[in-house]
Every structure is written in structure tokens, then in C-alpha cells.
Structure 1
Amino acid sequence: MDATFRKRWLKPEVYPLGVFVIGAVGLAAYLSARKLITDPEVRVNKDDRKHGRLDNHSEGEVYHNHPLRRFLRDKKTQIMPGLNEYFSKPLNPSK
């Protein structure tokens, strides 16, 4: 069984697939843990759940404006801004 697994999956051609699968699982685990631990709408223990709906707008703002969002707030939303600016310039008409 072990030799068959090595022959089939531990090839250099499979490494990129493994990297993407591990990355996706890691990202999903991070986002799930963040939602479970820091989201003000998620209440895990019984004492917090019995209060029902809370008006905790300040906690919601802190959760919504996380450090990555604050970092990207003033950045351009383009993937290649230099290339987009180059191709969006009007051509000089020759008269």
C-alpha cells in the first residue's frame, strides 16, 4: 500500500497540485477559525447565546475593518495599474 501511494502521488508532476490543495485547505481553516473566534455574531458558549440578538455595532466595525482591509483601503483595485494606464491613454492624432 505504501509503495503504491509513493508511486502514484509522490511525483514531481503532482507537486503543484499538492501546493494548491494545501493552500486552499489552509486558507479555509484560517477563515473558519477567524469567523468562529472573532465574529461578534457567532456565540459559542451558552451564556452568550442566551442573550439573543445584541446591538454590538462597535464590535462589528472592528471585525469588518480588519488589518488587511485597512491596508488595501487606499490601494488601486487593478491587477496591473501601469499596463492599464498605458493602454488607456488616447492616441495622438496626426494632422
Structure 2
Amino acid sequence: MASAAAGSWSKRWIRPEVWPLFFATGTAVGICGMQLIRNITGNPEVRVLKEKRAAGVLENHDEGKRYSQHGFRKFIDGRKPEIMESINSWMADPK
């Protein structure tokens, strides 16, 4: 009986049509995991250790700015909010 259930499971889920679903779900779980780890390890408002929680509210603006101005934000800072700048300007800007 167990082998019949295992056979139907593999026939249903181990097919080429299902792999994009696995990849999309895996990507979403990976992004959520990265953000969770980033918040736990780097966010100045999250305190995991009991000694740090006892400190209460800290007014540490430098640490907060370092956390919020991460590498990706520095990379996109000052750029136009467009995905394909050259195509957009070619199609929208008159000569």
C-alpha cells in the first residue's frame, strides 16, 4: 500500500510541468530567509540577546543609517526609476 501511494506522489509532482512551481517557491522562500537573517543579524531595533534587550530604546542614529543605506540602495540611488532607460527615452522623448 505504501509503494502505491509513493508511486502516485511521484507521478503527480515529479513532472516537468511542476518544476517552475518548485523554482518560484524556492526563490520566494530564499528571499524571505535572506531578509529574516538580515533583520536578525543587522537591524539595530532587533535584539536577540537578553543583555541588549535590557538596554531599552537606544538613540543610535548612525547604526540605523548604516542599516538602511545598504549596498543595493547605494547602487540605485540617483538613478531614474525606470527599468529600461534607453528604450523608454527612445520611445518617449521627441527628437
Question: Could you tell me the TM-score, scaled by structure 1's length?
Answer: 0.87
C-alpha RMSD over aligned residues: 1.3
Report what 1:28 is aligned to.
Answer: 32
Q: Which runs of 5+ in 1 are unaligned?
A: none
Residue type matched to 2:77 in 1?
A: R
Sequence identity percentage: 37
* 1:11 corresponds to which of 9, 15, 33: 15
What pairs up with 1:19-58 in 2 under 5 angstroms? 19-58=23-62
Distance 2:7 2:55 in 1: 56
User: In structure 2, the residue corresponding to 1:12 is in which secondary structure?
Assistant: coil
Q: 4+ residue runs of structure 1 moved beyond 2 angstroms?
A: none
Distance 2:41 2:11 in 1: 41
Q: Which runs of 5+ in 2 are unaligned?
A: none
Aligned-pair CA distance for 1:83: 1.7
User: In structure 2, the residue corresponding to 1:13 is in which secondary structure?
Assistant: coil
Structure 1, residues 58-85: CA drift from partner, whole Å, max 9, x if none? 1001100111111121333201111211
Distance 1:67 1:87 in 2: 31
Structure 1, residues 14-46: CA drift from partner, whole Å, max 9, x if none? 111111000000000110111111000001111
Aligned-pair CA distance for 1:50: 0.9
Question: Could you tell me the TM-score, scaled by structure 2's length?
Answer: 0.87
Aligned pair 1:90/2:94, yes or no?
yes
Aligned pair 1:59/2:58, yes or no?
no
Residue type matched to 1:23 in 2?
A: T
